[in-house]
Homo-oligomer: A and B are copies of this chain.
């Protein structure tokens, strides 16, 4: 009966949310604060170099609200790379004041719901760029995890492949309408983290996040089948701008 759609995976992603422990920061000496920021900047430069070498991608953001202060997003070929990056932050001087309120581990995923080509999938135009994406440099980011519902009559995983394809088509149409304003990266996390997917949106206007999500919610894919985790919104920090967040 089980009739899953094939998926293709790319880079692994770690969304690493951090909170600055303000009293602990205030208790550091001036030297320790300088070390904390310069070590973190050095890590950020390493990450950028990896991106420049097309061996991964990276983004640093200030998150609004109480849920986090900072977000480091890194994409790499293997989970080991991401575990090492997380550990490097924790073991740096800044690691003494950077709490970890949330994180998300997932892998870039493309599903073949709407593919009909006979060509090998990964050779289709644009597929490699989507599997191994350079994170957009837009001003804003929005991240949220989600599930497909499995409740009573609203059980996504009991639908036929054809029913799912039909529903996803409607969903895709809305996404396409926003395509020139919002870049969307879907990462799969079944077996990797607590929700089934992570959604990372990039735009130069936070209103696009609201409009897109609002419109999609009336679509059957969301109305009947989507369950959402926390939403985190941030603004991109240009290289070298980490210091002002610590203050």
Contact = CB atoms under 8 A, between A and B. Distances in A.
A188 B103 CA distance: 25
A66 B102 contact: yes
Contacts of A78: 206
B223 A158 contact: yes
A71 interface: no
The DSSP consensus for interface residues of chain A is mixed
Contact of A105 (B82, B155, B224, B233): B233
A65 B193 contact: yes
A100 B224 CA distance: 34
A35 interface: no
Interface string A70-108: 000000001110110011001100011100111111010
Interface string A115-133: 0000000000000000000
19 contacts: A2-B170, A2-B215, A2-B219, A4-B218, A62-B87, A64-B103, A64-B105, A65-B100, A79-B235, A87-B245, A87-B247, A142-B192, A150-B224, A152-B154, A157-B218, A191-B209, A191-B210, A191-B212, A193-B231
A180 interface: no
Nearest to A90: B22
Contact of A231 (B21, B86, B192, B230): B192
Interface in A198-217: 201, 206-207, 209-217
Contacts of A83: 62, 64, 235
A237 B235 CA distance: 31
A20 interface: yes
A212 B170 CA distance: 28
B155 A223 contact: yes
Contact of A14 (B22, B65, B97, B103): B65
A140 interface: yes
Interface of A: 1-4, 7, 9, 12, 14, 16-17, 20-24, 26, 62, 64-67, 69, 78-80, 82-83, 86-87, 90-91, 95-97, 100-105, 107, 140, 142, 150-155, 157-158, 170, 174, 188-194, 196, 201, 206-207, 209-220, 222-224, 228, 230-231, 233, 235, 245, 247
A131 to B, nearest CB: 13
B105 A86 contact: no
A23 to B, nearest CB: 5
